[in-house]
Chains A and B, each alone.
Chain A
């Protein structure tokens, strides 16, 4: 049924919309379209875009794999410590990303808590590798996924899980065949958030992974460098990043909307 839209809702909605959309339009207008082709077909830019898309996607997958079970734990367990735990999980949101990078060093750096034994045993260290990019992005993106999924889990009707249990499904089966499909839209929304956050990640990446073309220089880092040398090219690069992500999001959304 086409609901009539009350003005008291439509007005702030439109205000919010323009607040988000106008700056993007401004960016499009400011961008140097004359040398657009040259900027966006630059080898370095394409390399950075490719790296960004790959790492952000891997980070998203990692975030889903780690975050969905954690969200489930948060939503379903009644331990009194959960309030604190939940707050702790929200915290990486607040941490300035550069500090997040430093924090990652303390655990996964060559002389970090876990990084040191790893380095001693295998000679491998995470920092300055594409793995570091993925880790940095996962670190900042994970909380978004967890909070989205936890919200969806709390809103879901638990009686379906009861029904599944009486049909002989063990907890893991219930989780994968009932809970997860039911909260599908929530997981999808969380994954989109996580992907987008990973794609835009800058501070933790440049600190923990460095800024090496082809291995750790993602699009945001490329934009940062372009700001140093050619600010208008930086805008053009941002527009490229935006265009690609809008495209991906629209394609994904359509898939999901069709499924749900």
Chain B
């Protein structure tokens, strides 16, 4: 009985604030005092979980280079060939970044922190109140200097009750925190990342159809006067994806120009490619990420295009948001709250899927497995084609083919790698857009194998190619 009364009391004012939190409060423990339920689940992102293709496991996380050795060849000459791991929970994002050999053994820009720390107050401080200016300033710094600035911001905003409660981050610098997704007054979700705000405005300003983002279509009909502003124009349901789209996106964040999200022509793999093909660095040089270590091709790197891939799937079209699946509602006593233990929905099918799909859990798992296994098989097939391609180009080089002679093959390599990496770097193993992922891999195979038979390489291929060996095994 007391129980029931307690619960009724709980239910009345969920937003009774015990501690003042503001736009500079990056420490989640302060928010946790006000919203203990969300905080408790948020903290569980330290937990180890496991699914067939997802989950987060091990310290440090499992190496993807060891799982798929062809990645080492694809990334030849790039920092990703040193170290590339499974993602883990949000709690680890800052540690995992600081520990990767991509950071410890290669110089990296401060821009890296854009998505791995609760960084907006630092931008604001460095920009004297202008977040965008501070973002540009911090991005240009070295990673080490930028990190020190973030720690400094933390020390300027101490939180009395703040402690790390088992959270694996240095005091002062925090992984993604409440303030990154919430307005501290109303707790409404909001987006704060300058990269996202600029990227989504550029997407809106373009013409690419985005039937899954009604607010952009509406803004376009409205005359396009003021730039599209996600925080003002998007619906609540859209914001439930945009907060994730702040980070789970393809980006450029190298040393040569400011971090940007390449969406001005649309969100599909070839629309992003077109943007890169047209982009020039400030010094006038055509855009590329790195020069391939084996072939010398100038190639692009794809990173976690979850938002872009989701955009091509039927769930996005049906208005299903990232948070619907990755932060489903959970009953906590007399209240229903969003599960802030952001993780694989396959660990939580009852809440993540079954409200919409009243089907047995085993059947839902099987449907996902069918999609993921198909994607995985096609990815292996693309990888074999990629390896054949690299072998063929190497053989042609060894046989004396020069840059000009190899140019067609290298152009094909660039297209092939971009597509294969786009699906490989995406983290749902095809689930977010199953047919689209298969289509992209089909194109990757096409370009890789065209490179094998391209004029200048074909004469020099060694007798038994990998594909032939692989086919023989099947």
A binds B: no
